[in-house]
Amino acid sequence: MAKRLSLGKKQLLVSIHVIAVAAWFGGTVGMLLLGLYLKNAADGEQLYYTLLSMHVIDENLLKYPALLTLITGIMLSVWTQWGLVKHYWVVIKLVLTITIIMLGILFLNNWLSYLEELAVKFGFVALQNQDFQSTWLSIRIMSSFNLLCLIVMVFITYFKPFGKIKK
């Protein structure tokens, strides 16, 4: 039988998990809003600092809360009655979480760095650059996808659909 958490430890772990999810959710909303705001930049400096702010959000409100969410989610599933692969809803949340994290690792940081380089190199005119436009669109699409996945995961947590995985 797997190790089970005491009620106090479970409540602490759930609290940490919820705080991490809230930070991740807030970072995702912030990233999306700044991504939409970018078109309103008045000059090259504002464009660059908006991108820099997005990079700070990526580093601090996306990466670490996402990893903490993954770790605490795995701990909660393993150390409670839900199990890591006993219920479809847990597996779906795990797959979505890993997918979002991998997309961020593989693409988002590089995209933001690339846009910052273009903003430094071309200033305000970077907004007219086709590569800038397509990368910027990719960031907005990814932020929207991440937000949708996080919202879906909240609903999955409360409704726990699809039942148990049959052996």
Q: Which two tokens stand for residue 88?
A: 């479809």
Does the pTM of the predicted model rise above 0.85? yes
The proportion of the chain whose per-residue pLDDT surpasses 90, expressed as a percent, equals 94
- With a cut of 60, say whether residue 167 has pLDDT above it: yes
86-106: pLDDT as tens digits: 999 999 999 999 999 999 999
Provide the β-strand partners of residue 87: 164
The proportion of the chain whose per-residue pLDDT surpasses 70, expressed as a percent, equals 99
Q: Tell which residue, 93, 70, 69, 90, has the closest CA to residue 17.
A: 69
- With a cut of 80, say whether residue 140 has pLDDT above it: yes
Q: Which two tokens stand for residue 71?
A: 């770790």
Domain definitions of the chain by residue range: 7-159
Distances (CA, A) of 37 to 53, 136, 144: 12, 11, 14
Q: What is the DSSP string of 86-101?
A: SBHHHHHHHHHHHHHH
